[in-house]
Structure formats: C-alpha cells, structure tokens
Structure 1
Amino acid sequence: MDTSFSYRHLHYFWVVAREGGMARAADRLGMAVQTVSTQVRELERSLGVTLLKPVGRGLVLTEAGVAAMRQADLIFQLGEELPAMVHDAVSAPSVRLAVGISEGLPKLVVRRLLQPVMQEPHLRLLCHEDEFDDLLGDLALHRLDVVLADRPAAANPNLKVYSHALGTSPMAWYAPPGLAEAALQDFPRSLAKVPVLLPTTHAAVRPRLDHWFERLGTKPHTVGEFEDSALLVTFGSSGMGVFAAAEWVHDELTTRFGVQRIGACEGVEERFYAIGTEKKVQHPLVQRLLPGKP
C-alpha cells in the first residue's frame, strides 16, 4: 500500500462525505463531478481501501471511511482555524497559553495553580474544561499547551504525555453558618446526621473520601453529589450541606463564601498535576507553572 497519499485528495473526500454525495460536493467545490470522483478514487487507491459506498441515490461511509473521516475532520478543522490564528498572532503582541482544565479539578484551585503566569504582560489565556481523557486527546493533537488535573495521566504507549506534580493540599470540612454548630458537635461522626455534599467519582479525591468514612465507620448523610466543584461549593455555602475542600483555598472559602472550617479530613489530600507532551517542558509559561521554576 502506498501511504504517501495526497492531502488534496483527502480534502475532496472530506467534502464529499460532509455533503453526502458527489454532485453536492462538486457544486460546493466549483468542479466537475467526474473530477471530484476521480480524486476520491485516487485516495482510495493510495490507501488500499474503499471509503464510500452507494446507498440509494447517495453515498455513505464504509467502516474505513468513518476512520478516515474522523482524522480528516481533525486535519481540516485545524486548517480552518489557521487564518484566524495567524491573524491574531500579528494583530497584537500576546503570549498564548491554552490550558485544559479537568472537570474533576476544584475550580478555586485553578486560579492558584495558574498564579505564576498571571503577571505575564501580554498573556492570552485560553481555558477549556472537559473530561480528562478528552483533554489528553486534545493535548496530543497540540490543541492545548498543558492540562491541569487532579490525577496523573496513565501510562499509554499510544499517547506520549508526561505528568508533572504541582503539589498537594490537605482536605478539610466546611459548613455554612446554619449547619456549622450541628456539624461541630461530635465531629466527624456528626457527618452521619448533618446533610453532606460530595464530589462524584469524576473527582480523583472521591474514593479517598469514601475510604475516610469507612475508616471512621461512619456513613455520611449524603444529600447531593456534584461533578462540578464550583457548583458543590455554591450549593454548600448556600446552606444545602457540609462539604470537603482543599485547604489551599481556605481563605477564599471563608471570606468569599462565608463558610466555616469544621475540622480536618485526616489523611485525605487533593493532588494536582500539569500534564504536557514533553518530558522537558518547552513552553515558557508552562515551565513557570512547575515547582522550582522561575
């Protein structure tokens, strides 16, 4: 099989697949139907597979075509973004940092993790929140410069990413004023009686909290579980329940949200990581995020 296929042929295939037929693709491209058809056949010949098959009066993707279309989408969507990115690069001086925020990472911690770069004079910060695995895929495709997460990336020979530890924070329990007195009485066993809010299993700290309750022999009176840590803090501070949070953000929790620290969550820590595509981080702003870097 000849793998030196033409990206021009791939583009014609991409347009045909998106339009659902040769005639519509030819009309969009301003070319003859026969020309477009020939280009697609050339791509199939170079790949050694059939990508499109006729169904009724139209065309549908074969299994190989679905795989090719997935990659073509990535390639040409990036190409469509290129003019705007180039224009932005020359229109104003800026230092771009695209950061992926894992949905399990406490949002109040993100600001602290990014603090080392916030004084960059021409910083252009792009933050994208998504599921952990999806962010790693975007990182591998260089759509992101770094991913901030509450867990390291698992070893994967097909995904060359590297985890850099940023630090850990002990956990503590916090309560809004209306629950603080009851929560303080016979803490931590009081958590079996007062309403408790917990993160869902999307958060790496959730199993540690579950084990903490198991060690105590206490079943929490759980009234809510949240994927989004910001929602958890919002509902907790408004009176819905007692919740655990990283003590890194103690001052902000007590001053901004008006909650009270009830007690330590002994032995439970939040862990924070920066994940990149290089063992030695090259992006100057990502380097600043790592402990011990200037």
Structure 2
Amino acid sequence: MHRERIPVYVVTGFLGSGKSTLLSRWLKEAPFSNAALIVNEVGEVGIDHATLGFSGDASMLLADACVCCSGLPALNEALEQLFWARLHRSIARFEMVVIETTGLADPGPLVASLSLNAFVKERYRMAGTFTTIAAPNAIDTLARFAEARAQLGGADVAIVTKTDLVSAEELDALNAQLPNARIAHSANASFALQDALALLAQPAHRIERPVARPFSRPRSHDAVTHFIAIDEASDIDGLHAQVRDITARHGDSLLRLKGLVRLKNREALALVQFARGDAHARITECAANAVKSGLTLIVRTQA
C-alpha cells in the first residue's frame, strides 16, 4: 500500500542571520501555519521556541544539543513521536514538518538522517532547506566560520537577510560568492513564504564557486554555551548596562547572546538579542512563554 510521506522543510542559518525572525513570519502563513514545528537550540533554555509565536500544538524543542553533532537520535525520536501523535489524533493533523536548526548546525547530517533511519525514511521526505545569511557581515562570516559555509553548501534556497543595511555594490559582491543560483533577498523579514516555496520549486542550478575558503563540513564547533541567570532586572536601562558589560568582557569571541529576562513589576519579559558585528544589543518587551530568566551566550573558544 502506497503511503504519502510527510514533507520536511529545514530552516537554517548562521548565528544572528535573522532566520528566527523570518520563520516567525512564515509560521503564520500557509502552508507552514499547518505544520509541526521542531526547534533545535544549543542552550539549555529554548529562546526561539518561546518567541516564535507558533500557535499550533504540534511543537517540540530539542534543547542543549546540536542536531549535527549529538542531536540526531533526539530528532528521529521527535519525528516518530509526532507521527504517532498525528496518527492517533492526540494532536491536530499537520501536513508538514518545519525544523529550525541551531545557528551552528550543519544541515547535511540532518538531511542524511531522514534517509538512514528506516521509520523516518518510510514516513517522511526531505522537501527543502532554506538557509539565511546576514548581508552586513556575510563575507567575513563565510571566511571565518566553516559552519556558515556548510550551511550555504547544503542550501536549496539561500536567503540574504538584512539587505537594507548594505549598499547595492556590497550586495552584488556577496551574490558573486554564493554557490547557489536560488538566491533571494530579504529586508526586515519581508521575504514571503509563498515566494520562498516558488523559488524552491524552480529547477536546481548550482553554481560552482569557492565560498570564501574551500567548503568543508565541521565535525565539531569551536564554541561553548553559557547561561547567565538573571532573576529580575530593575528596568530596561539597567538590563542594557548588564548586557554592555557582558559584551565588552567577551569581545569578538561572543558569537551570540539571547535571552528572556523578567522585569520588575512588569508582566512582559525583556527579549535580549545580540549577534557578532552588532553595535549594541536589541532589547524589547515580549509576551513569551515562561522560561528561565536570563541570558544564553555562545562564545567561540578558538580565534
């Protein structure tokens, strides 16, 4: 008996490239609004999972593990659990699965695992990988980080984000380095899901170009994750001061800082975001699910 396999879409991209912001928009648009969501984060606290605004009940968090390093068994288990929950109608019927990886993940092992696990292979099929890269520091990111090169090397569609922050000449220079002819541009998460799927449906045409340095797949990541608990911040200004101290202390080794922090006498949480290359952290109030109050840091261990 022929069984229609469930399509799986992967959304990946280097730390701070805006993939979560873009995905948050896509999850409100059809057909992703009728998807199951799996979020993978390297920290012990699922910040993206808490802030994506996903309204469906088919949602799973794979925290404190990178899927391309040690998280593949957990991913396969999550896909099995979702399938049986869907079959037994303990969750609403979803038509596809969307997986958001960590900003350090190489999507290659994840994609390969869908065909290596017998249960997953029989019931799911890989539908496409979207990779985001931030325009302002993309060339430097590709030169310095094998993870970013691996992500672009495995992309079906490459989405250059934050294009409003660079000139047309800088954007042309970046496009000339990308190894994928399916390239889209996005400013302020403006790239619509329907446009992304339409681009994915176009015939594949990969351009053989070196990506800053010869492409290689990382076996491990020269980065560690720390969580700094902050029970409560007095106000936004005080939190800004704390974050400035942290970013100054770590300097260029700080790749990413994200967190949800409780504010004194406020119901809303403060969402804190900082990525390598940012002039300062962005702190906004956020109505998110309850998580540990504090900041997750991803720090590079080697220069």
State the TM-score bracket (shorter-chain normalisation): under 0.3
Larger radius of gyration: 1
More helix per residue: 1
TM-score, normalised on structure 2? 0.22
